[in-house]
Amino acid sequence: MPAADTTSTDHRPANAGSRDRRIVVAALLGVTALAWLYLLTMSRDMPGAAMDDMPGMAMPMAASWSAATFALTFAMWWVMMLGMMLPSATPMILTFATLNRSKRARGQSFVPTSIFTLGYLVVWGAFSLGATVAQWALDRLALLSPALASTSTLVGGSVLVLAGLYQVTPLKQACLHLCRSPFAFMLNHWRDGPAGALRMGLQHGGYCLGCCWVLMALLFVVGVMNLLWVAGIAAFVFAEKLLPGGVWIARGGGGAMVGFGVWMALAA
């Protein structure tokens, strides 16, 4: 009987850790699914819908931007970023949850994983605000189609070339390395307490933004609400961050972007 009790006690921490991981994964999957459901619902029938029937989703006319339109457009971008970026951030969030649970098991202070995740979401919220301003500016210049894609092949090609070249810059590679190495990030950036967890989330979000911001700008080339391209860019981000050989996937994709961008610009 004592041996049986000891075995049960030894397995309890492992079981608790597995349960915690399942809870975190389920929460992230739930948020991601809700984000994609929102996008699918809002983009449904968009190609044939009147712009008045798609508030905040189809391109508003330059003179029709209001505070409500701006807020709805910002919400669209932020929800889109949640759907695109949370899957590739899952290993980092799980690593934080695992290390934090180990601290709790040793009787040290415990910080909810949601605080770390909040910092990550704040960074992409700031990006979404910038993207909303960019959409407003492009609309004012009449450079967006009703499908929220660039009407200028020269501008679109230039953005593609910029995105492709950025893929091989030292900044991109440094940010990608940290995004691909959760334990290295935690080892070098760990901070205790809720404020420390929020700061870590902001830092990780910053590195993630540094890795992917130009890829997100490609949405203005292919169509912000073209969900096939949205899913494709999200899959590319996932591949370069999480798959073996992700660094070469990033570089190879960059070369393809440059080639297609040059062809597109020359065809202008």
Domain ranges for the chain, please list them.
2-44+58-266
Tokens of 196: 């420390």
If you search the block for the tokens 């950025």, which residue do you land on? 166
Which pLDDT value is given to residue 53?
A: 38
Rounded mean pLDDT for each run of 10 residues along the chain, 268 residues in total: 42 57 77 82 56 42 76 92 90 88 71 91 95 91 82 88 94 92 89 91 95 92 87 92 92 94 84
**218: phi > 0 → left, psi -120 to 50 → alpha, else beta; which?**
alpha
Compute the residue count for the chain: 268
Which pLDDT value is given to residue 54?
A: 39
Tokens of 136: 């407003």
What's the gap between Cα 42 and its chain centre? 19
Could you read off the pLDDT of 131-188 as tens digits, one per residue? 999 999 988 888 888 778 888 888 889 999 999 999 999 999 999 999 999 888 988 8
Which pLDDT value is given to residue 16?
A: 53
Which pLDDT value is given to residue 17?
A: 58
Q: Which of 212, 192, 199, 172 is nearest to 89 (CA)?
A: 212
The 3 state secondary structure assigned to the chain is CHHHHHHHHHHHHHHHHHHHHHHHHHHHHHHHHHHHHHHHHHHCCCCCCCHHHCCCCCCCCHHHCCHHHHHHHHHHHHHHHHHHHHHHHHHHHHHHHHHHHHHHHCCCCCCCHHHHHHHHHHHHHHHHHHHHHHHHHHHHCCCECCCCCECCHHHHHHHHHHHHHHCCCHHHHHHHHHHHCHHHHHHHHCCCHHHHHHHHHHHHHHHHHHHHHHHHHCHHHHCCCCHHHHHHHHHHHHHHHHCCCHHHHHHHHHHHHHHHHHHHHHCC
Tokens of 39: 């996008």
Which pLDDT value is given to residue 104?
A: 65
